[in-house]
Amino acid sequence: MISQQIKQKIKNHAQSVAPKECCGFVFEKDIFECKNYSENPNHHFSISPREYLKASRLGDFKAVYHSHPQGKAKFSPYDIHVSQTMNLNFILYHNSTDEFLFFDPTDE
């Protein structure tokens, strides 16, 4: 679904902000890094409406990405809910296992 170059950029972003979760948007050939505005950024992520608007002005993004620096290598029920509600693909990078997971809300 995404190139090795995009995966590396997400991984770099995740490692640079750990132990906080990183977040952002994936485009065809690049990513748009966002600041995590969550009140509990080590366990959740929140993207500001302003950054969502900035990203959407760059074109159609393919997915929202975020990391799990600790915990399980799986999407939380809330991740799945948001993905389905907004009809957006989600990508998760798990720092500890160095793996990527993908969630397509249309597959459920």
59 CB-contact burial (10 Å; exposed 0-12 / middle 13-18 / buried 19+): exposed
Q: Identify which of 69, 56, 63, 75 has the alpha carbon closest to the alpha carbon of residue 22.
A: 69
> 12-59, pLDDT tens digit by residue?
999 999 999 999 999 999 999 999 999 999 999 999 999 999 999 999
What's the farthest any 2 CA atoms get from each other in the chain? Answer: 34
Contact in structure between 55 and 61 (CB atoms under 8 Å): yes
The model's pTM = 0.94
The count of residues in the chain is: 108
